Structure 1
Amino acid sequence: MNCCRSPKNSAEFTKYYQLRWKMLREPWQQPVGSEKDDLEEQSYHRMIINSKDEVLAVGRLERNGQHQGKIRYMAVSETTSGQGLGRQLVVELEALAQQLGITQIVLEAREKAVGFYEKLGYLQVNKSHLLFNEIQHFTMQKSLSAHDNHHAELVNELQNTWHDTIPMSKAMNIEISYYDKAKLITHCDPAFNKNLHQTMFAGSIYTLATLTGWGWVYLQLKQAELEGDIVLANADIKYRAPIKGTAHCQLDFEEVIGELTSLKEGKKAKMQVMANLYSGDKVAATFHGQFAVLPKKSS
């Protein structure tokens, strides 16, 4: 059975890039290595792989900014052409983009692929570059609706609370792009949060992670119909790699320890969370925080 996911290890990445080169570079006598660029480390890679660990199709999503993404390097194996794998891959990349808060996808389509993308809702913008003096490309784009969030009202309340009470969160333009009780994803404006090295400022990474953790506790309080003052009691962050593009922060329910029922008895509650900052598919920083929730004093 086929599975669409990101490559898990170096061996799978080798197969991933091999198919990209074989379909997009080898026919035009381009050397191995020409199938890669400088954005590989900060992009989202997806492949369709079968039960025999054969890579059947590949594609990449990169971010041009906080709300725009670009699909590139789409390739399907000759042996599986016509089986709908290309469509499956685009749908997967679009769903990922929606979770990340991307509202517009752009791409450069080869002339023979224009019809394929038009069937998926992409519109031609203009005639683009000529690759290898032979392959005409066309710029195409598609608007994506916001992720269908059943907790939209609650999420908007949290985001407005940040922007109204924490000036830094508004300046960073911290936004929530996804929440489903099991996962919370946030992101911020990459241009505002860059340092002199053109990577994400460490203080911005810490702020985004801290507010994501605080926000998780806030959402749990609201859903449990409880009240309390949330304070950060202890925190630690490990910076693993520089973030050159647009980061997103993700907090998963499995990484949360603690509960809030003690608030019903007027006692303090505690929650420990872990959140990861991602540059593309890779974890660039890991935040551990312990939050205390203090019961509201009756007036």
Structure 2
Amino acid sequence: MVQCRAPKNSSELAQYYQLRWQMLRQPWQQPMGSEKDDLEAQSYHRVLVDDSDNILGVGRLHKCSQDQAVIRYMAIKESKQGQGLGKLLVQALELLAAQMGATTLTLNARDNAVQFYQQLGYVNQGYSHTLYSEIRHDKMTKQLNKPAQHLAQKAESLQQIWHQTIPLSQVMNINICYFDQQTLLTNCEPSINKNLHNTMFAGSIYTLATLTGWAWVYFALQRKALQADIVLAKGDIRYIAPLAGVANARTAVDLVTGDASSLTQGKNARFNIAVEVCCGDNVVAIFNGSYVAIAQ
């Protein structure tokens, strides 16, 4: 069975770049290294693998703004072409983009791939550029499906609470991107959260992480139809690397302890929540927060 996932170690990542070079650069006598650009550390890298973890295809997703993403470096191993793997890879990247808050996807399609992307719902916007003076590319775009209605309603309700009670959240434009009871993803507007080094301001990273943990508690209370005041009792953050691109914050069931059950007995509920702040596949900061839901 073929699956799409991130490279799981440095060896797979090297194979990922090797296939990218072999399919997209070697036929035009380009040197190793020409298959990479300055955005690799900010991107989501995905491989198609079989049951033996052989890499069959590669592709990259890059967030260029809070709600826009770009697909690049799509390649399927030559011996595996014509088996529907390209469609599988594009659909996986589209799902990832939507989960990360993108509503518009863009790509530059080689002349011989335009029809393929049109069949997947992409609209040809016309000529983009010519690579190596011979490979024509057309710019193509696609609007992604909006989140499920129930998520949209929950997210809108929470965002209204944030914006009314925490003005900074509105200035940062913090949004709920995805929530399925198992994983929660948020993002914010990158252009207004930069410091003098053109990386994300540490205070903005902390705020995004804090509110992501707060949102997890909020949704936990919503599931049980419980009312409580949510406060952060303690928060610690470890900054691992500068965040030069678009931030996403993530928490999930395996990063949370505690539940809301004690509120039914009139007692406060406590949650310990870890939040990973990411840029592409890379975790750039880890926040650990202790939250209290105060019984009313």
TM-score, normalization: structure 2?
A: 0.98
Residue 235 of structure 1 is matched in structure 2 by 235
- Please say which of residues 153-162 and 3-12 is displaced more in the overlay: 153-162
Question: 1:149: Cα distance to partner?
Answer: 5.2
The SS at the match of 2:212 is: helix
Q: Are 1:149 and 1:180, in contact at CA under 8 Å, matched by a contact in 2?
A: no
- Please say which of residues 160-169 and 150-159 is displaced more in the overlay: 150-159
Question: 1:39: Cα distance to partner?
Answer: 0.3
After superposition, the CA RMSD in angstroms is 1.0
- Please say which of residues 260-269 and 130-139 is displaced more in the overlay: 260-269
Q: Deviations over 1:50-93 (max 9, x none)?
A: 22332110000001100000000000111001001111000000
Residue 253 of structure 1 is matched in structure 2 by 253
Whole-angstrom distance in 1 between the partners of 2:211 and 2:204: 11
The SS at the match of 1:292 is: strand
The SS at the match of 2:190 is: coil
Whole-angstrom distance in 2 between the partners of 1:22 and 1:131: 16
1:82-231 to structure 2, matched below 5 A, reads: 82-148=82-148, 150-231=150-231
Q: Are 1:62 and 1:69, in contact at CA under 8 Å, matched by a contact in 2?
A: yes
- Please say which of residues 25-34 and 260-269 is displaced more in the overlay: 260-269
Whole-angstrom distance in 1 between the partners of 2:221 and 2:53: 44
TM-score, normalization: structure 1?
A: 0.97
Q: Deviations over 1:212-268 (max 9, x none)?
A: 101111111122111111111111111111111101001101211112222222212
Question: 1:157: Cα distance to partner?
Answer: 0.8
Gaps of at least 5 residues in structure 2 are none
Q: Deviations over 1:110-134 (max 9, x none)?
A: 0000000000011111211110011
Residue 12 of structure 1 is matched in structure 2 by 12
AA paired with 2:274? M
- Please say which of residues 214-223 and 185-194 is displaced more in the overlay: 214-223
Matched residues, number: 296
Q: Are 2:193 and 2:200, in contact at CA under 8 Å, matched by a contact in 1?
A: yes
Whole-angstrom distance in 1 between the partners of 2:59 and 2:151: 31
Whole-angstrom distance in 1 between the partners of 2:261 and 2:61: 42
2:33 counterpart of 1:36: no
AA paired with 2:13? F
Assess, with a 3 A threshold, how the Cα gap between structure 1 residues 93 and 220 changes in structure 2: closer, same or farther: same
Q: Are 1:150 and 1:180, in contact at CA under 8 Å, matched by a contact in 2?
A: no
AA paired with 1:55? I
Whole-angstrom distance in 1 between the partners of 2:279 and 2:194: 14
Whole-angstrom distance in 2 between the partners of 1:222 and 1:22: 51
Q: Are 1:149 and 1:178, in contact at CA under 8 Å, matched by a contact in 2?
A: no
Q: Are 1:149 and 1:179, in contact at CA under 8 Å, matched by a contact in 2?
A: no
Q: Deviations over 1:176-208 (max 9, x none)?
A: 010111111100000000111111100000000
Question: 1:147: Cα distance to partner?
Answer: 2.5
Whole-angstrom distance in 2 between the partners of 1:147 and 1:133: 41
Identity across matched positions, percent:
52
Residue 54 of structure 1 is matched in structure 2 by 54
Residue 290 of structure 1 is matched in structure 2 by 290
Q: Are 2:155 and 2:175, in contact at CA under 8 Å, matched by a contact in 1?
A: no
AA paired with 2:283? V
The SS at the match of 1:259 is: coil
AA paired with 2:216? W
Residue 263 of structure 1 is matched in structure 2 by 263
Whole-angstrom distance in 1 between the partners of 2:154 and 2:144: 22
The SS at the match of 1:116 is: helix
